Amino acid sequence: MKLFVGLVASVALFGGVQFLHGGNGQSVATEVASTNTYRLTANGDEAACAIHRGAEVSDGLSLLSVAPNCRKLMPGIEHAKFWREQTDGSVAFSENGIDPIVAFGVADGDGYESYAPAAPLLALTGDGR
């Protein structure tokens, strides 16, 4: 009986992983990161600005262009020059490639949601260009 329960749990775990990966072996984070142009919004506001992920500099580290008007959403974010993607799919923007100004986790659905700093809550969605 214990063997049967273990087998069922293994199948359920495998099915859950396949579901989260869309059944094709690619992670959801990889699919979200397939675009290079993003729209940044704060707290569901209609105000938005453009973010562009540039060329990869090293493994997981890419250049970043932040529109000057992004300062209205989060003062200081306009200084970010680097996009760092972690192995868990989270993303951090930094000025020096190391110290994050803002960090995002993969959101339910499409894009990312900020978790650090706690306020303002920022949403980063693919612009599809």
Q: What is the pLDDT of residues 17-43, one digit of tens each?
A: 334 344 444 443 444 445 799 999 998
Which pLDDT does position 80 carry in this prediction?
97
Mean pLDDT value of segment 87-110: 93
Same-domain pairing of 3 and 43: no
Q: Residue 87 maps to which CATH number?
A: 2.40.128
- Is 24 in the same domain as 61? no
DSSP class of residue 80 equals -
How many residues does this entry show for the chain? 129
Q: Residue 109 has what pLDDT? A: 74
Whole-structure pTM value = 0.70
Q: CB of 92 within 8 A of CB of 100?
A: yes
pLDDT at 45: 73
Helical residues (DSSP H) of the chain, grouped into ranges: 2-20, 28-32
CA–CA separation, 96 and 82 (whole Å): 7
Alpha-carbon distance 80 to 51, whole Å? 10
Asked if 9 and 2 count as a contact pair (C-beta separation under 8 A), the reply is no
Mean pLDDT of the chain: 78
Question: Which of residues 127 and 95 earns the better pLDDT score?
Answer: 95
pLDDT beyond 70 at 72? yes
Is the predicted pLDDT of residue 44 greater than 60, yes or no? yes
Higher pLDDT, 51 or 11: 51
64 or 126, higher pLDDT: 64
Looking at residue 108, its pLDDT comes to: 83
Please state the domain count of the chain: 2
- Strands 91-94 and 82-85, by their bridges, are antiparallel
Same domain for 108 and 63: yes
Tell me which residue range forms the domain holding 112.
35-126
